[in-house]
Amino acid sequence: MKRATLVVALFGASFVAAAPGSPAPTAPVPRPARLLRTLAHDPGGYNPERTSVVTDLLLGDFLFHSPSTLGPKAQKLGISCNTCHPNGATDPRFVLPGDRPTHPGSVDVTTGMFRSEAENGRVDPVNIPSLRGLRFTGPYGHDGRMASLHDFSQSVVVNEFGGAPLPWNELSALVHYLNDFDFLPNGKLDEKSRINAAAGKAAARGEALFEKPRKGFGGQSCASCHVPSRFFRDGAIHRLPVGDGASKHGFEDGFETPTLLGTLESAPYFHDGRFAALGDVVAWFDTAYALGLTPSERADLTAYLEAVGAADSPLDQRPLAQALDATFVYLELLASGSVKDDRRVWAAVSALCVEALDGAPRRPDLEERRLRDRKRLTDLDEKARAATTLDALREEPKELHRELTRYGADLQGAIAAERR
């Protein structure tokens, strides 16, 4: 087994925590890479003992991963923000269980499934967007209906999932975290977002075609809307002849120019995911705007889009222990800061840690320890529910975090030893 497969095994686990004796997860699903600017600049980050900023980010990280954030119905289904936006990217396989059939990777956000008032009586799924580079890509929603990430996030929780409004400190922590998602590095672009030699000749020819003014666009070019120096978007809403009455909730009857970065992992394309491949998009523009491209120009333009949308390391390659600790570290929240007495957070942190333990690979010689740690987590949850004050419990999560960190390291070591 190669390391990449091992690492992602953890994330391929089912969303609902398995029973203690249940078999370890099989068939790993590759997950997209995780790139947070705070952790990239400070790999030791998320140490709550250091600064309140870090605690805030950790809280946001937890809220993003916890189904409890979205209210009881999502919690029952085990759906969190991270389910649809894994590591800030998008899950092209996601289908909302039990909802009207839509194609994978899209969701009908106006379904009555979570909140009956949200139902608009139509099947109108929209494509799940990537959240990478979110701080540069406002306004939000495919139709650009909201300028504020705070408003958008609160609306996801309340209007779409029927959850309770997040208190201000939680909303602000969540937005803080969302603003931390970065675009993945792409060695085919230079610092001015221009194609370099690594992208190849076809892409270089495609770049010139992308920038060429065209009659069909009223003298503009692809680059007028997808401005390379502005992350290949313009922050504006346009009415393309997409022919479906455009948006249901936007102020303007159109869609916002999406970034062209990261398209490698964000297929299918357009607000409704109607195009499976970048070549289909090029063909559509050519026809819809009578651009008159030759077959080889279409191919060059597609090669350019593929180079712009590429990523050097698209998959989550974190060593197992580090990936596990990204969840176990939530225990630190229980001992610190503003969530001190929030029992919902206590319960949700225990649940996420149990899920991570169950979802990780198993080793017979570590099984007793896994079950003991698991029991300590569920006991902690029970104690927190029963206690009148949580003060006496504060040391326990810290100690448990240390133990789980050791467990993760030992598990990784045992797997490495087995392969030698």
Quick check: 137 binds ligand HEC (CB under 6 A)?
Answer: yes
Q: Give the integer Cα–Cα distance in Å for 227 and 270.
A: 17
* Comparison of 271 and 370: residue with beta carbon closer to ligand HEC: 271
Determine if 57 is a binding residue for ligand HEC (CB under 6 A).
no
Q: Kindly indicate which of the ranges 43-51, 128-136, 317-325, 383-391 contains the residues binding ligand HEC, using the contact rule CB under 6 A.
A: 128-136
d(CA 105, CA 129): 9
- Give every CB contact of residue 119 below 8 A, 6+ residues apart in sequence: 110, 111, 112
Please, which residue, 221 or 405, has the CB nearer to ligand HEC? 221
128 binding ligand HEC? (CB under 6 A): yes
Binding of residue 103 to ligand HEC (CB under 6 A) = no
Rounded to whole angstroms, how far apart are CA atoms 220 and 375? 63
Q: Say how far apart CA 298 and CA 42 lie, in whole Å.
A: 43
Cα-based distances in Å from 352 to 24, 328, 359, 366: 16, 8, 10, 20
Beta pairing class for 237-238 and 255-256: antiparallel
Quick one: which of 331, 338, 344, 340 has its CA closest to 385? 344
* Cβ atoms of residues 123 and 117 within 8 Å: no
Question: Using the rule CB under 6 A, is 376 a contact of ligand HEC?
Answer: no
The answer to the question of residue 238 lying near ligand HEC (CB under 6 A) is yes
11 binds ligand HEC (CB under 6 A): no
Residue 217 in the binding site for ligand HEC (CB under 6 A): yes
84 vs 321 by CB, closer to ligand HEC: 84
Decide whether 169 or 220 has the Cβ nearer to ligand HEC: 220
Q: Which residue lies nearer to ligand HEC by CB, 186 or 263? A: 263
Q: Which of 36, 58, 81, 400 binds ligand HEC (CB under 6 A)?
A: 81
Angle between helices 201-211 and 295-308 (to 10 degrees): 100
Asked if 337 and 47 touch (Cβ cutoff 8 Å), the reply is no
- Given candidates 95, 225, 277, 414, which one binds ligand HEC under the rule CB under 6 A? 225
Place of tokens 């992602």: 8
- Residue numbers of the site for ligand HEC (CB under 6 A)? 69-70, 79, 81, 83-85, 96, 107, 109, 126, 128-129, 131, 134, 137, 140-142, 149, 152-153, 156-157, 174, 178, 217, 220, 222, 224-226, 238, 240, 242, 255, 257-258, 260, 263, 266, 269-271, 278, 281-282, 285, 301, 305
